[in-house]
């Protein structure tokens, strides 16, 4: 029920929940990716755990963001 499309006079409007979640996931995913890039460039000590966590979080969130945008556009 939360992810259903609304219909207004025969025109389908994408769900606002999916649209907002897509933007939130995209912003957080790029933020996590930026943390990974900054950490690998300027990090003094090598932490494999932080790198793996950043890679996993950014990959999952960016994947969900692109998936939600494709759902919103009807693809």
Looking at residue 20, its pLDDT comes to 86
Pairing of strands 11-13, 6-8: antiparallel
> What's the pLDDT tens digit per position in 14-35?
677 888 888 898 999 888 888 8
Q: What is the pTM of this model?
A: 0.69
Helix, strand, or coil (residue 13): strand
**Domain locations in the chain?**
24-47+58-75
Q: What is the DSSP letter of 1?
A: -
Looking at residue 7, its pLDDT comes to 52
């Amino acid at each position: 029920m939360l992810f259903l499309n609304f219909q207004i006079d025969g025109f389908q409007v994408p769900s606002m929940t999916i649209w907002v979640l897509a933007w939130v996931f995209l912003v957080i995913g790029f933020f996590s990716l930026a943390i990974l890039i900054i950490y690998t460039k300027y990090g003094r000590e090598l932490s494999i755990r932080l790198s793996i966590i950043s890679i996993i979080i950014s990959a999952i969130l960016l994947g969900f963001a692109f998936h939600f945008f494709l759902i919103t556009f009807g693809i």
